Structure 1
């Protein structure tokens, strides 16, 4: 049974503090309890520049809000946020992970944000004992690698992919679907799960290049047009999805584009153009961030001047789990790891408890469909579980 927990940090209910632990213990405690938590750091690991930056910025802004609130309430023992800009590249991830590992004051990471960079960085974090909570990397196999420091605060593609497939079948009622992916760890895995649900309804499939490496999708557009598909599923990120949608529309293809959380950002509309993007369906193993609990949406807008985006709320919650550990005096990596393993609490996006492999409790996983309408990404409906 989930405990009812005291509300702290701007309306987020966090785990009750260890009896006797002070926000800034300065000795007398053993290493297991955490020692001196003053001067502790947490880091955000994800794309802050480059073609995949929009989703990373959403998350980093959520982490910033959590740290800002914490520091206002704990002015005598502030936490520093370290931004680690991966540009979404698996090639850059190991070096960036090592940079975080070498800074002994960093006791936890929010991220990595993407599945490909997670595959490259997570083995290093595990070896170093540095806990990391991803707010958005959804490839299922990330939880199967025996990484002792891995935790995920959202559902994985084993929930999102089938849900997207069910939406295409049950809501769009598409009898012919063309499936495209960008060959990334995330995009290909998500597309595979969708194809399993669609079965014989898959009228064709194709692979493209992601990470800004391809801009001309005419060959794919021709294949989609020839297939007679009334729906297209794309596994990948918003920059290529926007160009594909734009080029499909220019070729007279009216098939509805459905894509996953990697496309669920207003940057997709900018890439496709508002007219072409209209009607696109975007899924996410998350609830609408603008409808998060408490004062989150208002606080986020007050700090950043814009509404929260996809995964802003889950990143905020991930950061608050680490901050609760610091508040409880867990200022060493081993202490923080044990704290997160045993964590149970209520956040603005969901309630949190982790399985032995670091996955979010399946009972807490939700998948939503969003729709591009009037030039904006708006909530459509929660997709029922099978």
Structure 2
């Protein structure tokens, strides 16, 4: 098969030939949906990674980094094809991404067999850490942690009846089901339904929700679908709380639902978006540097993109150039990232377990606080 040929070449991905990773420069890839329907979740971490690499290269290091992007449009089949090309043709020594869980399921077996380390800034599906991949890492808490944090927040907010909705995809269904179980364990009742992520008419689900009269609706999936669902919920008369996860934490949610319909919508995420330095001064400086470079505010996974790139930078700064040496270095890397401490456990999971809550206000989605302490009016 074509994959086998690629993997054979991947074993020499760090040779000093005319590929991307020879001499005093190595190539790191960034993979995710950069132009598709949910690109608003992936452009920010791409920009964060770009900022980290540019700042590092500006110090005139012994080993410079070339950052190369691979646009999958969030499709697993594109991730599979592109990761093979990244290994064979570009000879990457590491990959930031893939950004989404579905494409991670497709690409990471190839990366693992080729012994190319990856650090995803945003793929949160629980089972990714259960595959036995030795070259896989992430700088964000998984959906088990996110669902526990979201469940704790909803319980503290007085939710006794919850209705979960998912897009029936790997990430969305897993998150919605886990949030349901988390609030159920606290004594709440839960009903659930699924919508077609390619569909536009969610009236059947809206009717079920209105009949159930839940205190809150939690949607598992991405902002393009969340926007349509939240819009139809409000226009259908639902007045309870609406909440979603990290996949919906983008201004595209507000645009899709309409600003009035989106007001008060709540989002949970293992990511930290803190432009004002509410949590730490490092976050404030990062936000200022980010705005100066891209003329835009920090957004979802901007900090995680920066921190994922910094993990690779720390390994390369220590003189590591081969894929296996870089992977070994990632096992011991430990530093204070922009949003949280970066240190990986034996499964590639982030040691830090914080979940943050955000609330739509006008056309922005500011930080409400840590899920353990955040309160909503």
In the superposition, the TM-score normalised over structure 2's length comes to: 0.88
- 2:237 pairs, out of 252, 262, 274, with 252
| Root-mean-square deviation (Å) | 1.9
CA offset digits 1:289-316 (Å, max 9, x no partner) = 4236422110000000001101100110
Identify if the C-alpha distance between structure 1 residues 94 and 293 changes in structure 2 by more than 3 Å, giving closer, same or farther: farther
Give the structure 1 partner of residue 343 of structure 2: 353
8 Å CA contact retained: 1:300, 1:308: yes
- Mark the CA change 1:131 to 1:357 in structure 2 (over 3 Å): closer, same or farther: same
Check conservation: 2:63, 2:316, Cα contact below 8 A.
Answer: no
1:53 aligns with 2:39: yes
CA contact (8 A) 1:289 1:312 kept: no
Aligned to 1:279: 264
Preserved contact between residue 162 and residue 191 of structure 2 (Cα < 8 Å): yes
Q: Does 1:194 align with 2:179?
A: yes
Aligned to 1:178: 163
Question: How far is the alpha carbon of 1:237 from its aligned partner?
Answer: 0.4
Aligned to 2:203: 218
Q: Which residue of 1 aligns with 2:118?
A: 132
1:121 paired with 2:111, answer no
- Shift of the alpha carbon at 1:75? 6.7
Q: Give 1:243's match in structure 2, choosing from 228, 238, 245.
A: 228
CA deviation digits over 1:104-123, x for unaligned, max 9? 54111111111111111110
Of 65, 71, 75, the residue aligned with 1:85 is: 71
Is the 1:39–1:105 contact (alpha carbons within 8 Å) kept by the matching residues of 2? Answer: no
User: Which residue does 1:316 correspond to in 2?
Assistant: 306
Check if 1:209 corresponds to 2:193: no
Give the CA deviation at 1:252: 1.1
1:96 aligns with 2:77: no
CA deviation string 1:290-346 (max 9, x = no partner)? 236422110000000001101100110110111222222211111111111121112
CA distance in 1, matches of 2:23, 2:39: 31
Secondary structure of the residue aligned to 1:92 is helix
Aligned residue for 2:350, secondary structure, equals coil
Q: Counterparts of 2:75 and 2:144 in 1: how far apart (Å)?
A: 23
TM-score using structure 1 length: 0.86
1:37 and 1:326 in contact (8 A); partners too: no
DSSP 3-state at the match of 2:76: coil
Deviations 1:170-205 (A, max 9, x none): 12x122211100111111111111111222634421
Consecutive unaligned residues in structure 1, runs of 5 or more: 1-26, 28-34
- CA drift of 1:79 comes to 1.7
Q: Any gaps of 5 or more consecutive residues in structure 2?
A: 1-15
- Pick from 366, 372, 386 the counterpart of residue 354 of structure 2: 366
Query: How far off its partner does 1:44 sit?
Result: 0.7
Question: Which of 144, 147, 153 is the equivalent residue of 1:161?
Answer: 147
Partner of 1:298: 288
Per-residue Cα deviation, 1:204-263 (whole angstroms, up to 9, x for no partner): 2111122xx111111111111111112100000000000001011111111211110000
The answer on 1:327 being equivalent to 2:317 is yes
Q: Helix, strand or coil for the counterpart of 1:337?
A: helix
Q: Retained in 2: the 8 A contact 1:293–1:349?
A: no
